[in-house]
Structure 1
C-alpha cells in the first residue's frame, strides 16, 4: 500500500510539477470557464497573494470559493491614485473589507476567482500587484515608513528597498524556496522594522568616519521558528543586494524541506551552526563581511512615529496614526481619500505594527488635518493602549483560527481607554486567533493566543495569556506562558483586573508586573 505523502512532501511535489508563478494563466482560465479550481492550484494561488478563507461568514446555501487577497505595498506605500483603486476593489469585489498587515501589505476578503482578471487589471493601472505577497518566496521587503523624510534617520534606504524588491519580485530563481522568506532594511534611528524577527535584515549604522554600513542579521522569526536573529557582521550599502541574494540562494538550496515547521532559515542555521552558515555565505560572496560588534537598539515599545512631525520636505509634515489593529475597510479608505484631497496630501505608508503614516501633510494645516482624522477613527495621538495593539485575521476569515480577533482588539482598547483614561505607560497587546503568531504575540506585554476553554461546563472559544515579550537586539525576550485561559467574553474584565492590580502594586513598570503572571 502506498504511504500517504506528508504535508511537506505534497507541497514540494506541487511546486516541482508546476511553478507557483505559472498558475497565473490558470487563474484567467478558471475565471473565464467557471471551472472548479484544482486543489493543487489553490496552493499555487498563494504565489499571487491568495489564501482560501474560512467559510464562517458564508451563508449556508453559498458554495462560492472565496479568497483572501494580499496586495503588496512596496516600501509600504499607497499613493492617492492607488488609494482610489484599492477603495474601488474593496467596494466592488471585497464586501468593503481592507486591512493593513504586519508586512506593510493590504488584504481583502470575499474575493471570487471570476473577479480576479479585473482586480489584477485595476491594480496594474496604478502599479500595484499581489505577486509574491504569499507562498514559499521572498515576501514584501519591510522598512521604516518615514525613510527619506525623517530628520533623525541614520540613512535613507528607499533605493535599497526598491532594488531588493526588484531583485526578488516574480524572480524564478526564488520562486521555490523551502518556505516564506522575510527581508527587512532599516535606516531608522528607532529600528522600527523589527530586524530581530526577520529571516535577513540590514540595519544602517553610522561609523566613526561618518560612513554608513549595514549590520547584517540572519535567522530571526516567530511561530515554529521562534528565535532572535544573529548579527553576523557588516556590509556596505552596495553589498546589501548581493548579500541578500546569496543568503536566499543558500536557503533555497539547503533549507530543510522535509518538514514544513522546520523549513525556515533559522532552522537551517540551528542545524548547521552559525559558523558553518557564515562560512558558506562568505564563500559565495566576492567581498568580505566585516566582523560583528555590539549595537544598541531601541526597545520595541518605543519604536513608533505617532503624531505630527516636520518632514525634511520644506513646508511638509508627516502624521503617524493608529488604526484598529490594521482594520481600515472601504469607509476608512474613502475617509482618507476625502481628507487627502481636502488637505493636499498625496501618499501614506503602512507600518509593521498595522498602523499608517501620512507622508506629506502641509505643515500649516497639519493640526487641523489631524483633528479630522481623529473624527473618522484614525488616531494621530493614540492612547497608551491603542498605540500598540495588533490583531491577526481571526476566525471571521482564517481557516486556522479558533477565536475572533479584530473585534476583540477593538472592544478591549475601547474598554481600557474608558476605564484608565490617564494610564501613563505604553502597553503592547497582540490578539491572535490561533498559535501561528501572525500578529506577533511573542514580542508584546500581553499576548492573547486563540484556544478552546471551559466556561460554565461548556467548551467555548477563548485565549491563553502570554506575557512579557519585547525586542531590543540581543536583549530581546519572547513571551512566557502563564497557563491563564479565559473565554472571549471575559477578555475585557480579565485585562482590566491586571491593570488595576498593577496600579495598586509597588512595581515601577507594567512589564515587570506582568512577568509575575508567568508560570
Structure 2
C-alpha cells in the first residue's frame, strides 16, 4: 500500500482540525463559531431596534448579549464592586452589568465639529458624560442602556458616524494618520483609500464572519503614527523607483498574549488597488483562518505558519487574479515622537495643534469645549490619534498663541511633560469584564507623581498601563509596559499590581519589552519603582541613547 502524496507546501495544508473553511471544515468548533453560524452578527441591529430597546435588558437573548451585540460596538460593562480576583472565576452573567460600553468608530480619526458635538451630546444625554479616546482613534461611551441605542444610532448616522463593526469578529476601525492631507512631509494621503474601503466593505455580510477581529491601518505618515507593525493589515506609504506613490503591504501584526510583528509581503500596491488587496487579505483570513481555537484565530498565526512568500502567492493567485510588483520598504520613521502633539506647520501655511488629554479620558462637556475652542479659532476639523490624543487642524499663524492658551487653560496640554504626553491606559476594571486591576486613575496619578518627582525629565518615554494580559494598551512595545495582575505585598496580602515589561519599541529597532525575572510592583509601589529606574537610566545613558536601547544593555539590578 503506497502512502498518499505529500502536499507541495506543508504550510499551506494545515490539518482540517484548525477549522479552515477553505479546507472544507465548516462545522461549529466553539461557541463563538456556533453563534455566528446560527445567525450573522449584522442581523442583531434590527432586533435591538424592534425588540430589545422596547422590552429592555431582560429580553436580550444571551447569544446576542455576549456575542452579536459586538457587531454594533456594544459590550456589557463590568458590574461595579467585583474585584479582580474574581475576573477569571465568575460566569459572564455574574460579571455583566445592565449597562453597555458603546464604541463609536472614527475611521482615520477624522471628525468634523458637528460630529464631535454629536458625540458630546450623546455622552451627556445617555452615557453619564463619559467619553474616552482610545488608542485606535475611537471614542468609547459607558453606562448606555439598550433602550437608548436606536436614538443614539439615529443621532450618529445623521452626521455620518456609526458603530457598525466597531467590535466583534469583524473588520474594525481603519487607522489613519490624523494629519492625512496636511502634513508637508507625508508620503501619500491615504484618506481616499480609507473612505473607499469603508464604504465598500463595512457592513458587508461577506466579511462579517471572520475567525477573530481584524485591525487595519492605511497611512503615508512620515512618523509611522499608525503603528503598522502591530496591525493585522497595514498599507504604508512608499515611493517606487519610478517615483510613483503607493503602499507597502504588511500583514499579521498583533500583541495580546502571543505578540508578533507584522510581516512585509514586499509588494507595491497602487492607490486604486488598495481596496481589492485589502479584500483579498481579509478573504484569506476568512477562508483559511483558524477557527477551532479562539486563542489561535488571529491572522498572525496563519501567516506565521505559511510565511510571507506563501501568503503573497495565495493572495495573488486565488484572490486577486494578478501579480503585484515588488516594491520598496518604507523609509525609517521621522525622528521624534509618533503622536503629533504640539504646534506644527501644515503644508498650506496654517498650523495644527495637538494636545494631550490625560490617558485619553474626556467627557461630554470637555468634547463640547474642544469644539467651541476649535470653532473660535477658525477650525472645523479635529482628529483623534492612536496615542489617545487629539489634534485641531487649520489654525492661522496669528491665532496659534490664542488657541494654545485656551486649550491649556482647559487642562488640554499642548506642551505636556513626557509623562503626560506618553502615558496610555486601557479601560481597566472600572468598566472592563476582562480586567484584573484599575488603570485610568492609577495612570493619571502616576503622571502627577512623576511630574512632581522628575520635573527635568525630557527624554521620550512611553508608559503603557494595561488591566489584564490582553495588551489593549500595547504593553509589549512600550518603554515601560505594565501588565495588570494580582501580586503579594510586603504584608503577604494579595493586592493590585503589575508585571513590568521594559524596553519595547517600534520603528527603527522594533522589539518586545524585556521581562526581568521576578520584576513586579504593587500599584502603591509604582511611582517609587518608575522613579528609581528612570534615575538609573539618566545616570547611565550614553549621548543620544534611548531608554529602550539602555534597557537592552542594563544590568538586571538597575532595572529592579
Aligned counterpart, 2:59: 36
- For each residue in 1:258-298, what CA deviation from the matched residue of structure 2 results, as whole angstroms up to 9, or x when unmatched? 01110011111123333322211110223322225544422
Alignment of 1:289-300 (within 5 A): 289-298=324-333
Contact 2:172 2:216 in 1 (8 A): yes
* Residue 156 to residue 180, structure 1, CA distance change in 2 (3 Å): same
Q: CA deviation at 1:158?
A: 0.8
Aligned-pair distance for 1:32? 0.6
CA contact (8 A) 1:301 1:470 kept: no
In structure 2, relative to structure 1, the CA distance for the partners of 1:502 and 1:458 (3 Å cut) is same
Match of 1:493 in 2: 528
Equivalence for 1:101: 134
> Match for 2:209 among 171, 176, 185?
176
Give the distance between the partners of 1:321 and 1:257, measured in 2 at CA.
Answer: 41
Report the Cα distance in structure 1 between the residues aligned to 2:29 and 2:394, rounded to whole angstroms. 46
* CA offsets 1:295-326 (integer angstroms, 9 cap, x no match): 44227963232211222335x32111112121
Higher deviation after alignment, 380-389 or 433-442: 380-389
Contact 1:90–1:330 (CA<8 Å) still a contact in 2? yes
CA distance in 1, matches of 2:219, 2:409: 32
Q: Deviations over 1:192-248 (max 9, x none)?
A: 111101111111112343211211111111114511111112211111111110111
* SS in structure 1 at match of 2:284: helix
How far is the alpha carbon of 1:110 from its aligned partner? 0.8
Q: Which runs of 5+ in 2 are unaligned?
A: 1-26, 83-94
Counterpart in 2 of 1:166? 199
Equivalent residue in structure 2 for 1:218, among 251, 257, 261? 251
Residues of 1 paired with 2:97 and 2:238: CA distance?
51
SS of match in other structure, 1:449:
strand
Q: Is the 8 A contact 2:240 2:328 kept in 1?
A: no
Give runs of aligned pairs for residues 52-451 of structure 1, distance below 5 A.
52-56=76-80, 65-232=98-265, 233-283=267-317, 284-298=319-333, 302-314=337-349, 316-451=350-485
Describe the SS at the equivalent of 2:358: coil
Give the paired residue count. Answer: 509
Residue 421 of structure 1 aligns to a residue whose secondary structure is coil
Q: Give TM-score scaled by structure 2 length.
A: 0.87
| Counterpart-to-counterpart distance in 2, 1:514 and 1:386 | 22
CA RMSD of aligned residues (A): 2.1
1:104 is paired with a residue whose SS is: coil
User: How far off its partner does 1:7 sit?
Assistant: 11
Residue 493 of structure 2: which of 449, 458, 470 is its match?
458
Structure 2: distance between partners of 1:362 and 1:286? 48
SS at match of 2:186: coil
| SS of equivalent to 1:31 | helix
Deviation at 1:167, TM superposition (A): 2.1
Deviation of residue 440 (structure 1)?
0.5
